[in-house]
Amino acid sequence: MIHALDIAGMVCPNNVFLAPMAGYTNYPFRKMCMRLGAGLTFTEMVSAKGLHFGNEETKTLLYCGQERPKAAQIFGSDPEIMREACESEALAPFDLIDINMGCPMPKVTRNGEGSALMSDMPLAEKVIEACVRSGKRISVKFRTGPDESKKVTAEFAKLCEGAGACMITVHGRTRDKIHAGPADYGEIAAAKQAVGIPVVANGGIWNPKDVKKMYERTGADAFMVARAALYRPQTFCDILEGEEPSALELFLGQLRETRELYGERFACVHMRKMAAFYIKGRPGSNRWKRRLFETETTEALEALAEEIFRENG
């Protein structure tokens, strides 16, 4: 169930991956999750058009270190701009490029990108083929379909493999569900049975029991941890049976690395949000959240974090 995974010659030390999450999987967070055992991490989704037009903020999302292997996720619907992005210097450090065909957010789908591509299979195929022509390893992340009345998981999985993708990730929910409801094990299993390339299962994985259940019901080759990693980065330790650092140690390390890389103001604002994830469900979390969002400096945030975690362990 848990094992090393070869993806077109890229060997991951294990098959428990960190999902790409917009606004959260920046370099310090990815680096921390790799330290905790994640076998592969993905950047936040990056606009191919942003790279095409030289947007500096877009390039910032691709900051990375020397850790290997590593993957970037891009989105777009213009095949040639997507190919250009894959061939760009900005994506050169990455071992795998993942195409986002699952984002359900209107600001993405109204441009025909993200999960909108599942409703235009000929264009989706052209996008994948163009990216494959770049010579990079290409994977695709997608959902089970637009809604419950039109699930196309197996068909879309075959399309991805036929167009040259070396791996697919299936988020086991339809576009209209966003993150609500249980993952559809049957649809993920259908994708696994339809293709010969590795299939990563995404959706509803919070602990080792969820991984076991996902494997037994789908036969997936790998498992993607998403929101669970935000609330509890040690989820990777739980699944992989690794040594578990304290929440305070992880938070302070992430805060300091975020500040070093992105500066004081970004670190303060971003890590207030991360702290809210860390303490969700803990006694007095609402009281702590009010104090967190009144914090104006990372120094004050460090002091408050020590107070919070002393009380909550």
Active-site residue list: 103
Question: For 114-246, where are the alpha helices, taking DSSP H only?
Answer: 121-132, 153-163, 185-194, 208-218, 227-231, 235-240
Q: How far apart are CA 205 and CA 39, in angstroms?
A: 15
Distances, alpha carbon 218 to alpha carbons 126, 210, 212, in Å: 28, 12, 10
Helices (H), 179-297: 185-194, 208-218, 227-231, 235-240, 247-262, 264-279, 285-292
Sequence-ordered list of residues with C-beta below 8 angstroms from that of 228, at least 6 positions apart, any chain: 205, 206, 207, 235
Return the structure tokens found at 121: 């299979």
DSSP class of residue 30 equals H
Residue 47 phi/psi, 5-degree rounding, is: -75, 125
CA–CA dist 209, 261 (Å, integer): 36
Cα–Cα distance measured from residue 214 to residue 220, given in angstroms and rounded to the nearest whole number: 7
Pair type for strands 199-202 and 222-225:
parallel
For residue 98 the two structure tokens come to 């993942």
